[in-house]
Amino acid sequence: MADVKLAFIVSKPPYKSEVPKLGATHAMAYQTVEILLEEGDTVTPVLCYVGDGVLNCLKGQKAMDIYGITSTETHLKNCLLVDLDVYVCKEDLENFGIQEDQIVDAEDMGAEKKLQVVPFETIKKTVEEAKHVLYF
Amino acid sequence: MKLGVFLSEYRADSTILQRLSPEKLGIILVGNGVYHAAIKEKGQSSQILDLKANFYALKEDLETRGLDASKLDSRVKPLSYGDLVDLIFNEYEKLIWM
């Protein structure tokens, strides 16, 4: 039995390219990967937003209303619904003057999980402990 | 020269804009460029806004990103797509995209 830790790091702001959204998509796909593992083996992904990437976490995104595309906010809500750990760098939120009540939650969809605002040191530790680091 | 510049990046090199020094410069913030109008870092507005220019930000791109078009830096005017068409046809002779 083994647990493989994966760290997905998103450092780019949303929408200019598909890359930052793919970070969340790939992190969510961990459930699919588990089907391919040996009995008892697990994958533990952590999705981390750092630098300009924390701008992905602003709530109130109207991408579907305006451009007809699924918003990054909806993607993040889906991550919370599947109980993914999502870390948002505290220092980078402070740098942009973003308060915790301005970031996405999925209470309206019944998720108990929330985005976790953590110091960069926690994200660094997550990267150190991960077997694979995927950078978006 | 009356120059309109579409700026679609947040981390952009604006030195070329300072060197061009057109008689009239309009900077139209679209895509991730809208963060220049709506976000401060360490309490400081984007240095782009210190340029001598007229600034505009596309409302649709602000709202897509969860940004409030009514809370922009006072130097920036929010625009709809319709306003943008009027602007580029009536106010600027040349347009570039950065």
pLDDT single digits (tens) B54-97: 999 999 999 999 999 999 999 999 999 999 999 999 999 989 89
Flag whether B17 is in a domain.
no
Nearest CA in chain A to B38: A96
Does CATH place domain A3-135 in 3.20.20.70? no
Chain B neighbors of A66, CB-CB under 8 A: 60, 63-64
B19 touches chain A (CB under 8 A): no
Whether B62 and B10 have beta carbons less than 8 Å apart is answered as no
- What average pLDDT does range A50-74 have in this prediction? 96
The CATH number given to whatever domain includes residue B44 is: 3.40.1260.10
How far away is chain A from the Cα of B95, in angstroms, using its nearest Cα?
20
Q: Report how many domains make up chain B.
A: 1
pLDDT at res. B13: 78
DSSP-based three-state secondary structure for A33: helix
B41 domain residue, yes or no? yes
State the Cα–Cα distance between residues A20 and A12, nearest whole angstrom: 6
Q: How far is A35 from B6, CA to CA, in rounded Å?
A: 47
pLDDT at B12: 79
Number of DSSP helices (H) and strands (E) in chain A, helices first: 6, 5
pLDDT tens by residue, A66-110? 999 999 999 999 999 999 999 999 999 999 999 999 999 999 998
pTM of this structure: 0.89
Please report whether residue B21 resides in a domain. Answer: no
| Rounded distance between C-alpha atoms, residue B57 and residue A90, angstroms | 28
pLDDT of A125 reads: 95
Q: Which ipTM did the prediction report?
A: 0.81
The answer to whether A18 and A93 are in contact (CB under 8 A) is no
**Domain assignment of residue B34, given as a range:** 2-9+27-97
Which element (helix H / strand E) includes B16?
helix B15-20
- Whether residue A87 contacts residue A48, with contact meaning beta carbons closer than 8 Å, is answered with yes
